[in-house]
Chain A
Amino acid sequence: MTSAAATAHAVTLSAQGHGFLSPTGVEIAFLLVGLLTFGAALVTVTTRQLVHAALWLVVTLGGLAVEYLLLTAEFIAWVQVLIYVGSVVVLLLFGLMLTKAPIGRSPDADSGNRWAALTVAVAAAAALVWVVVDAFRTTWIDLDGAAAGSTEVTGASLFQNWVLPFEALSVLLLAALVGAIVLSRKAKAESSSPPVNSRAASGGSPSVPDSRNHPIEGTQPDGPQKPADPGAPAEQEGAR
């Protein structure tokens, strides 16, 4: 890999020495992973099995992380795995488990908007590709020198050149967070508490004062699943 990468110069403004007909190993790997990612993304949006769509999304996002790695952006790659695969997909699966999400095909898992969605997707992709190609047309990453996407470099550029967008984004996220809290509190105030209480009563365990603060409890799909007696021993009966 290193010998192949040796042909790559420092970031140059010309494509000389980087013919498209003699790609390096990294470039081939990049293309193959890209094709795999694209295929997984297609399956994600076309499969009729809801949970499979979420799992194919894992493959897609993982493929993207590998692409970042190949572009030497190690930090971004791990953050991609941490946030998207580790949290967003888990959230998705959690949400799917709260629904019926049957095993096998869901015949109604189709939208009448598919052509509109396809149009929007193609337009967005075209715009992104056009912007990226226009911006980086003749730029090549030097794979021999210091990594251009290491944590240190990313951090320095983020907090030197891009502080304002970074802070604006965090304010945006904070606003979304506060909004979510406000919405969920309002929904709770409107819904009456009897269902929770009656469930607690039928479960036979002592009523928990703040159990209604926890949406997980209230939305479990099956009947009274009250938690165990708090004094239940941990697995081994002879614990005491």
Chain B
Amino acid sequence: MNDVLDVALRLLVVFVVFLTFPLIVGQTEHKVMAHMQGRLGPMYAGGFHGWAQLVADGVKFAQKEDVVPAGADRRVFQLAPAVALLPYLLVLLAIPIGPSEGAVGQVIDAGVFFVLAVMGVGVLGSLMAGWASANKFSLLGGLRTAAQLLAYELPMLLAAASVAMAAGTVSLPGILDAFEWWWLPWQIVGAIVFFVAGLAELQRPPFDMPVADSEIIFGAYTEYTGLRFALFLLAEYAGIIVLCGLTTVLFLGGWHGPWGADGLGWVWTLLKTAVLAFIVIWLRVTYPRLREDQLQKLSWTLLVPLSLAQIALTGIVKVVIQ
């Protein structure tokens, strides 16, 4: 009975995190972008600095009519947002935030493979949406999504493999247990490759060619309205949380910090994740969108060789220190 309660409690906590953290990132994005652009952003909803803006947005989305285009493939069209969103919930289960046994939703033996595999499934949602909408802009968005995923999945995997080699395990808590501070300079190239490839997989600016609003309206999500559209947006922000959390755990040492690693490990994890999320927002405001061919070129001619070099470096250092 105690076990059941324990599992239920963990699932509940992960679910609450899944529902609230994306909203926090979204609100931060509103405010950070506004201040970087010399304006105030939402100021009225909720009273204090517009904190309830996203809640109001949510209510607005829930009120809107859920339209399915007449020519669309109904079932695939309606299923797509769930396929896009649920994988991130599953990934969140496997990310450890503290050193103790209880600080992770579920310890998974092959954690690195689990998170990368399940994150890859999320993109199927965009592809389903792009095809089932019966709209040529959606189709173009879906095509670009697929091309982008195929290009960036490889460097992301290779970068993660480098850390797994360094730690000698593919379990996420295991990697954190093996972490030393000097891994930071050692794995920095892999970290950057992982983060950039993850951004591209999330289709965040500057890699938002699949949803480029100035040319293909909103890519695969063009035909969506109401709650289903909101679910796609939620998937994007949940993706930011997952990507930043994973980068923290794999490359930045997760709960390791200069001090207070015993009781306050989870604070370090959250802090590092928040800083990375800030960088994600910062990049969106700073960089112009990469063109489709530049996107492909960046992955195949820069990120893949860099990640291979990182793997070679990891291997050499690993052999030398043994």
B6 interface contact, C-beta 8 A: no
Name the interface residues of B25-46: CB closer than 8 Å to any CB of A: 33, 37-39
In the bound complex, CA of A55 to CA of B80 (Å): 11
The interface residues of chain A lying within 8 Å CB-to-CB of B289 are 228, 232, 234
The interface residues of chain B lying within 8 Å CB-to-CB of A52 are 76
Stretch at the interface among B144-152, B263-271, B309-317: B144-152
* Chain A: CB-nearest residue to B149: A90
A86 interface contact, C-beta 8 A: yes
A210 interface contact, C-beta 8 A: yes
The interface residues of chain B lying within 8 Å CB-to-CB of A235 are 205, 208, 213, 284
Please determine whether B205 and A234 come into contact, CB atoms closer than 8 angstroms: yes
Question: Which of these, B123, B139, B215, B297, contacts A97 with CB under 8 Å?
Answer: B139
A93 interface contact, C-beta 8 A: yes
The interface residues of chain A lying within 8 Å CB-to-CB of B216 are 225
Please determine whether B214 and A228 come into contact, CB atoms closer than 8 angstroms: yes
- Given the interface contacts A55-B128, A97-B142, A234-B208, does A87 sit within 8 Å of B150 by beta carbon? yes
A216 interface contact, C-beta 8 A: yes
B291 interface contact, C-beta 8 A: yes
Please determine whether A228 and B140 come into contact, CB atoms closer than 8 angstroms: no
Please determine whether A90 and B123 come into contact, CB atoms closer than 8 angstroms: yes
- Given the interface contacts A75-B109, A94-B147, A227-B292, does A221 sit within 8 Å of B214 by beta carbon? no
In the bound complex, CA of A232 to CA of B208 (Å): 12
Please determine whether B292 and A151 come into contact, CB atoms closer than 8 angstroms: no
Please determine whether A234 and B285 come into contact, CB atoms closer than 8 angstroms: yes
Please determine whether B109 and A151 come into contact, CB atoms closer than 8 angstroms: yes
Please determine whether A81 and B117 come into contact, CB atoms closer than 8 angstroms: yes
B118 interface contact, C-beta 8 A: yes
Please determine whether B113 and A79 come into contact, CB atoms closer than 8 angstroms: yes
Please determine whether B121 and A81 come into contact, CB atoms closer than 8 angstroms: yes
Q: Mark A84-108, 1 if CB is under 8 A from B, else 0.
A: 0111011101101110010110000
The interface residues of chain A lying within 8 Å CB-to-CB of B226 are none
Q: Mark B178-206, 1 if CB is under 8 A from A, else 0.
A: 00000000000000000000000000011
A74 interface contact, C-beta 8 A: yes
The interface residues of chain A lying within 8 Å CB-to-CB of B17 are none
The interface residues of chain B lying within 8 Å CB-to-CB of A211 are 293
Q: Mark A211-240, 1 if CB is under 8 A from B, else 0.
A: 101101100111001011011111110110
B130 interface contact, C-beta 8 A: yes
Counting chain A CB atoms within 10 Å of each CB, which of B208, B209, B215, B289 scores highest?
B289
B114 interface contact, C-beta 8 A: yes
The interface residues of chain A lying within 8 Å CB-to-CB of B11 are none
Known: A97-B130, A216-B143, A232-B289. 8 other contacts (CB 8 A): A81-B118, A85-B120, A90-B120, A151-B113, A151-B170, A225-B216, A227-B291, A228-B212
Where the two chains meet, the residues of A that have a C-beta atom closer than 8 Å to any C-beta of B are: 51-52, 55, 58, 74-75, 78-79, 81-82, 85-87, 89-91, 93-94, 96-98, 101, 103-104, 147, 150-151, 208, 210-211, 213-214, 216-217, 220-222, 225, 227-228, 230-236, 238-239
A-B contact pairs, 14 of them (CB 8 A): A78-B117, A85-B120, A93-B146, A94-B147, A96-B131, A103-B72, A103-B132, A214-B293, A228-B212, A228-B214, A230-B291, A231-B288, A234-B284, A238-B37
